[in-house]
């Protein structure tokens, strides 16, 4: 397993953030992207190579937060626009060598879709997007969110049920320990259940208070052991509040996690 962090957590220019991530000892980064058309893909790849980092995933949450654009928007044109944005993120992921695109808050809320079932809408959108992802060699990872942030897919079991309806092998789950702490019966049981299906594509780590691991009550030693025994060899990507600031949160995370997940030689 390798430890990553979202570039957005750190301060400075994109290049400065990559340098900090490398100096702290992270294996790679997760990118949150909005207007990717304005980005120089060649330069991004060059800088990643310069610092010995690779991209674990492309996060879609910024599209929802900044552009207010979600897959289950109450406005039909916005839904279509969101689906196009997802397809663009898939293309961008392929261009920068990211293994997957994560879908959390970007899916929106089922209650926003009037006159139809939000779950069915999401299945249809993901089905079309899965075809795009397959063509680009990218995985899609659906993130269960706690009940206070989403009214659709709160648990790992619900996520597995929905991707089964989609029927594509390249759609899986990204589990987030913060949300799991609220919704899952146990960490070990849910991790094992998803991993046993071969659909555990990604992991987000944050403690019970969304601070760096070790500052809440989640047992990350148990989680790491469960992931290893389940055959998970993917990424552990920090998803945290920037407290007391992003740079310090990133440093505290890697210092704690390296005791549990030593860097592979």
Q: Which of 96, 101, 54 is nearest to 202 (CA)?
A: 101
In the annotation, is 143 catalytic? yes
In the DSSP assignment, the letter for residue 261 is S
198 dihedral zone (left: phi>0; alpha: psi -120 to 50; beta):
left
How many beta carbons lie within 10 A of that of residue 13, not counting itself? 8
Residues 243/212, Cβ–Cβ less than 8 Å? no
* Residue of 30, 83, 183, 239 marked active site: 239
* Residue of 30, 83, 143, 183 marked active site: 143
ω before 244 within 30° of 0 (cis)? yes
- Which helix (H) or strand (E) segment holds residue 61: the answer is helix 61-67
Tokens of 101: 């695109």
Residue written as tokens 């249809």? 124
Tokens of 237: 């990507």
Number of H helices, E strands in the chain: 10, 8
Helix, strand or coil, per DSSP, at residue 128? helix
In the DSSP assignment, the letter for residue 46 is H
Q: What distance in Å separates the CA atoms of residue 181 and residue 173, rounded to the nearest whole number?
A: 16
In the DSSP assignment, the letter for residue 122 is H
Residues 175/144, Cβ–Cβ less than 8 Å? yes
Indicate which residues carry an active-site annotation.
143, 239
């Amino acid at each position: 397993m390798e430890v990553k962090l979202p570039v957005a957590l750190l301060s400075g220019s994109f290049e400065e953030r990559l340098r900090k991530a490398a100096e702290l000892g992270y294996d790679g980064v997760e990118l949150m992207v909005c207007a990717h058309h304005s980005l120089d893909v060649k330069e991004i790849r060059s800088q990643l190579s310069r610092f010995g980092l690779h991209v674990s995933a492309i996060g879609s949450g910024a599209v929802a937060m900044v552009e207010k654009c979600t897959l289950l928007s109450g406005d039909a044109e916005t839904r279509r626009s969101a689906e196009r944005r997802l397809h663009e993120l898939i293309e961008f992921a392929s261009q920068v060598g990211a293994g997957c695109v994560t879908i959390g808050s970007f899916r929106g809320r089922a209650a926003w879709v009037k006159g139809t079932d939000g779950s069915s809408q999401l299945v249809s959108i993901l089905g079309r997007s899965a075809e795009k992802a397959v063509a680009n060699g990218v995985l899609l990872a659906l993130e269960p969110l706690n009940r206070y942030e989403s009214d659709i897919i709160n648990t790992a079991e619900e996520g597995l049920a929905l991707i089964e309806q989609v029927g594509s092998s390249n759609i899986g789950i990204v589990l987030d320990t913060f949300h799991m702490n609220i919704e899952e019966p146990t960490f070990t049981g849910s991790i094992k259940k998803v991993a046993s299906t071969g659909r555990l594509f990604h992991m987000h780590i944050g403690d019970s208070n969304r601070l760096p691991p070790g500052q809440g009550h989640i047992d990350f030693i148990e989680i790491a052991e469960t992931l290893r025994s389940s055959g998970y060899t993917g990424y552990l990507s920090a998803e945290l509040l920037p407290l007391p600031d992003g740079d310090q949160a990133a440093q505290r995370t890697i210092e704690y996690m390296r005791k549990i997940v030593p860097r592979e030689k």
